[in-house]
Chain A
């Protein structure tokens, strides 16, 4: 359908161009130059027109959320844009009605769709024609997380003359680094899960449980050399998996 309309628009523009050229009498004086000039003038606007037309047709053609989700999973980023624009008001209003703070609502809205993207791209979403309720459920859970976190954190009312922040320094990682750190840690855990059982066991005992190779050998009932060998192969295999899939683990 898109191709048919694009063809029609092209024909229409071509005919319009011919009319302009012949009507203005330029063609007979400088035919080649006039054609090149007109093509140069028309091409950018034609591209914009075609793009706008394509957007409208896609919006109409891909009406249901289910179709859009399916297109997005197949790699059409454009479908996500439509989904977000379609549901942004409902999702944002829902979050705002709970937190009553624009900045927090923005943050939770952003986190909601990041979770949506992660789940969709991992292929972990089961399409049951309930995209919006699913997104709302994610938003709801994130709102609850937000309130739980706030209850755990002690609050300081900075209304007096003394500012607590003048004596406190924040040594914690910023939000971006925290996300990267947790992502790297998760990736490493998944990589370790890919290792054979005996190598995984030694690696976890050494790195996560901080056990010596002597303790590992006693626990697993193998010699120290075997434990050392398993650790060595575990690291080699991890590097192989990382190289094979071009995984970047940096903080």
Chain B
């Protein structure tokens, strides 16, 4: 009996990584995110 293949199953296996824009956003966020130390607490802030 001939084997059956479907296009859908092939599409599912195709798994690309995250977009370059996503990675760029994360890296930009990392550069902009600063932590300032208070007396007892730390404050995170985004600096543009």
A residues touching B (Cβ–Cβ < 8 Å)? Answer: 77, 80-81, 84-85, 88-89, 92-93, 96, 102, 105-106, 109-110, 113-114, 117-118, 121-123, 183, 187, 190-191, 193-194, 241, 245-248
* Total number of B residues with any Cβ neighbor in A under 8 Å: 26
User: Which residues of A sit under 8 angstroms from B5, Cβ to Cβ?
Assistant: none
- In terms of DSSP, what is the predominant structure of the interface of chain A? helix
Are the C-beta atoms of B44 and A106 separated by less than 8 Å? Answer: no
Q: Which 7 A-B pairs have the closest CB atoms?
A: A113-B26, A190-B41, A121-B35, A117-B30, A245-B36, A92-B18, A109-B18
Contact B43 A245 (CB under 8 A): yes
A231 vs B34: C-alpha distance in the bound complex, in angstroms?
Answer: 30
Q: Which of B17, B33, B44 has the most CB of A within 10 A?
A: B17
Point out the residues of chain A lying under 8 angstroms from B35, CB to CB.
Answer: 121-123
| Given A106-B18, A121-B35, 14 additional A-B pairs, CB 8 A | A77-B27, A81-B27, A84-B27, A88-B23, A96-B15, A105-B18, A106-B22, A114-B26, A117-B26, A117-B30, A117-B33, A122-B42, A183-B46, A187-B43
